[in-house]
Amino acid sequence: GNTHVLELWHGPTSAFKDMALQCLPHFFSASASQLREQGKLENTFLILVATSGDTGKAALEGFRDKEGVQIAVMYPDGGVSDIQYKQMATQAGSNVMVWAVKGNFDDCQTGAKNVFGDEFGEGMNMTIELRDVSYTYAGKYQRVTAVDTVSYTFQSGTMYSIMGASGSGKSTLLSLLAGLKLPTEGEIAFDEQPTRFMDRSALRRDTVSVIYQDFNLFPQYTALENVTLARRLARRDGETEQDIRARGLDLLDQIGLSDRAGHYPHQLSGGQKQRVAIARALCMEPDVLCFDEPTSALDPELTGEVLRVIRQLAGRRTTMIVVTHEMAFARDVADRLIFMDGGVIVEQGDPRQVMDHPRMERTRQFLSRCANT
Ligand code: ADP
Ligand code: MG
């Protein structure tokens, strides 16, 4: 109960993660012992590192014999060099552990994530289950079945990425998940409770939030007002105006915009507006955050700052369903990749697996078209 699980993310060599890893244990331990002295910290820490290389040595050494810390490194059995193995296996320290994992680096990472997920998953193992869900737009002359007999279960604490060509039904699927549309066939259940018996406006407000590519901020309100507006309208018991304001400021701080609280949308860049839209959604504490092509309306140089915020949320195991064409991002950050075509889920699975070894011809064609643009 008193153990926190810290997750250290991987990154390319240029991300200076080795250097960060050498500094981090010292910063971490210094502030932890200071907090302990002040009586503000009673927790112990378990630090898990999934590695296929030198990161393991740096982490083990840095956290060696630090008070209140256990450090464990998981490396792929047979996936490290002899020197790397010796460096890790011979590391001294009463609190260090080294585990060889049967499998590859991804399995190590999945192992670490599962531990993390289990710790935080308690009491919030929400699922959204689609059972043979279809949605048909009925036009005057023709009907379009945008989502066609889809069955799929979304789990909490997981980030899903949805890809597929334009018109494949991605946006319609998000609208169904958010309760903005009701299935014309089939059923959606939250925690096994069919949504058609639930209050749809409550579902929208508290459970699922959708963030669209064109932000939809209110131009006459400041960033802070935009973030807090819905929460003020649906104030919770015992919550004061100051509470909500503090919450809004904290969220702006988390997305790196604390100095823009009083700015109006026209004074913000596209990337900043989209980050405000994310903070606005978070202000309602939804169980699930959906994004519909959140960076499609942005200039390429602004997509990074929005993806960084989504990545940060993924690191906290926020349940997210993200429609995106950013292949590298989905590959790196998503837990599952869902590929849609013609209203059906053609293929789904581990993003790297799906991208590197697509099983279906339609997925293969889509991916090669994306790679060529
Ligand atoms: P995606 O988000 O993958 O581009 P959509 O869910 O927006 O796909 O659309 C799926 C299909 O439903 C498309 O064929 C589209 O033309 C059709 N469609 C979407 N919205 C409407 C609508 N309001 N009325 C009629 N057809 C629609
Ligand atoms: Mg769409």
pLDDT in tens, 232-257: 988 888 899 999 999 999 999 999 99
> Is the CB of 167 inside a 6 Å radius of any atom of ligand 1?
yes
Residue nearest to atom 15 of ligand 1 (CA): 167
CA dihedral for 265, 249, 23, 54, sign (positive or negative): negative
pLDDT tens track for 178-189: 888 999 999 998
Burial of 295 by CB count in 10 Å (0-12 exposed, 13-18 middle, 19+ buried)? buried
d(CA 363, CA 325): 13
Residue nearest to atom 5 of ligand 1 (CA): 169
> Is the CB of 170 inside a 6 Å radius of any atom of ligand 1?
yes
Cα 109 to chain centroid, rounded: 15
Q: Tell me, what's the pLDDT at 1?
A: 45
Q: Tell me, what's the pLDDT at 118?
A: 45
> Is the CB of 142 inside a 6 Å radius of any atom of ligand 1?
no
Q: Given the CA of residue 171, which atom of ligand 1 is nearest to it?
A: 2
Whether residue 3 has pLDDT greater than 80: no
Residue nearest to atom 17 of ligand 1 (CA): 146
174 CA from centroid of ligand 2 (Å): 9
CA atoms within 13 A of residue 224's CA, in its CB half-sphere: 17
How high does pLDDT run on average in the chain? 86
169 CA from centroid of ligand 1 (Å): 6
Whether residue 204 has pLDDT greater than 80: no
227 CA from centroid of ligand 1 (Å): 29
> Is the CB of 144 inside a 6 Å radius of any atom of ligand 1?
yes
> Is the CB of 175 inside a 6 Å radius of any atom of ligand 1?
no
pLDDT tens track for 145-167: 999 999 999 998 899 999 999 99
Whether residue 123 has pLDDT greater than 80: no
> Is the CB of 324 inside a 6 Å radius of any atom of ligand 1?
no
pLDDT category at 122 given cuts 50, 70, 90 is very low
Q: Given the CA of residue 293, which atom of ligand 1 is nearest to it?
A: 2
> Is the CB of 172 inside a 6 Å radius of any atom of ligand 1?
yes
Q: Identify whether the C-beta of residue 227 lies closer than 8 Å to the C-beta of residue 248.
A: yes
In Å, what is the CA distance from 137 to each residue of 146, 170, 266, 296?
Answer: 7, 14, 35, 25
Residue nearest to atom 12 of ligand 1 (CA): 146
The strands making up 127-138's β-sheet, listed across from edge to edge, are 143-155, 127-138, 185-190, 193-194
CA atoms within 13 A of residue 244's CA, in its CB half-sphere: 20
Q: Identify whether the C-beta of residue 237 lies closer than 8 Å to the C-beta of residue 268.
A: no
136 CA from centroid of ligand 1 (Å): 9
Whether residue 2 has pLDDT greater than 60: no
Q: Identify whether the C-beta of residue 78 lies closer than 8 Å to the C-beta of residue 104.
A: no
pLDDT tens track for 129-139: 999 999 999 98
Q: Identify whether the C-beta of residue 287 lies closer than 8 Å to the C-beta of residue 318.
A: no
> Is the CB of 177 inside a 6 Å radius of any atom of ligand 1?
no
pLDDT tens track for 4-34: 555 555 566 666 766 777 788 888 888 988 9
- Read off the pLDDT of each residue in 112-131 and give the average, rounded to a whole number: 63
d(CA 310, CA 70): 29
d(CA 58, CA 20): 10
Burial of 316 by CB count in 10 Å (0-12 exposed, 13-18 middle, 19+ buried)? exposed
> Is the CB of 275 inside a 6 Å radius of any atom of ligand 1?
no
- Provide the strand spans (E) within 31-184: 44-50, 69-76, 96-101, 127-138, 143-155, 159-163
Question: What percent of the chain is modeled with pLDDT above 90?
Answer: 49
pLDDT category at 202 given cuts 50, 70, 90 is low
d(CA 250, CA 257): 10
What type of residue is 215? F
204 CA from centroid of ligand 1 (Å): 21
Mutate to test the pocket of ligand 1, among 142, 144, 181 (most ligand atoms within 8 A of CB): 144
Q: Identify whether the C-beta of residue 252 lies closer than 8 Å to the C-beta of residue 300.
A: no
Q: Identify whether the C-beta of residue 329 lies closer than 8 Å to the C-beta of residue 107.
A: no
